Amino acid sequence: MIAVVFTLALAFVPATDAANWPMYLHDVTHTSKASSSSITPQNVGTLVQAWRWQPEAPTMSGQPAASLDASPTVFNGRIYIGANTGVFYALNETTGQVVWKRMLDYVTAKTCSSKGITSTAAVVPDPASGALTVYVAGARNLYALDPSTGAIRWQTRIGPAGSATANDYYIWSSPTVVGGRIFIGISSQCDDPLVRGGLISLDQHTGAVLHTYWTVPAGAIGGSIWSSAVSSTSPMASAESRASASMPSISEAASRQRSARFPR
């Protein structure tokens, strides 16, 4: 079982905007850089383990093992992270104690292994209400959660319904939240079978699917987007961006075109 280990400097630094890490790779441009300067080359050698936490073991038949593939999201004194079991957790940043947990979803083993949450959460205000919201994907569904309680505000399946006898669709991508929309990739779980890949745009407030950009033509399979979309201010690059000229461009960071297959 894989544990989460957090190390802090000699004195705990309270959560501030500078200390927050609100989404995958920190921001929608994926800078992987925070503005906090509490850890420096001069004091990094003084870091010590403050606490250790690991997700709970599976409790249901077919549920994946307890491990961690997602990255932690840190916001205002809480840490949000999903486990391979399909359970999503909110932890106290100071103590590592579980504040709340919520079962999202997982897929059982068929043609691939069982799998839960890989996606890294984003904590962003709702564009209509202004209320902070946690956006995270399970194995097949995207969720909007209340950050205080874990209550589900909405959930939306990503991609087609899929097969009951094969592990076809799975969400490897983390949500990119920008301009009142959420962008997330459509992908296969382990390429057995391949699926038609793409990028979905959803309404951030309601979870309604607005547009789908397919990486390969109708009737073809492959081109899964396993990575997470990145936003920039460069000229419109994707089908989704061209459909809405006021939006920043969205790039498919890692579309797996190598697996594309076209009908003859």
Residue 193 maps to which CATH number? 2.140.10.10
**Cα-Cα-Cα-Cα dihedral of 50, 133, 123, 226, to 10°?**
110
Quick one: average pLDDT of 75-101? 98
Within-domain flag for 230: yes
Distance set, CA 51 to CA 66, 90, 203 (Å): 19, 15, 38
Answer whether residue 39 is part of any domain. Answer: yes
Residue-wise pLDDT for 133-179, tens only, equals 999 999 999 999 999 999 999 999 999 999 999 999 999 999 999 99
Please tell me the distance from the alpha carbon of residue 237 to that of residue 64, in angstroms, as a whole number. 38
Number of domains present in the structure of the chain: 1
**Measured distance CA(47)–CA(100) in Å, rounded:** 28
Q: Which domain holds residue 161?
A: 4-259
Looking at per-residue pLDDT, the higher value among 249 and 184 belongs to 184
CA dist., res. 118 & res. 130, Å (int): 27
Tell me if 23 sits within 8 A of 73, measured CB to CB: yes
Residue 134: inside a domain: yes
Write down the pLDDT at residue 236: 26
User: What is the band of 258 on the pLDDT scale with cuts at 50, 70, 90?
Assistant: very low
In this prediction, residues 214-229 reach a mean pLDDT of 96
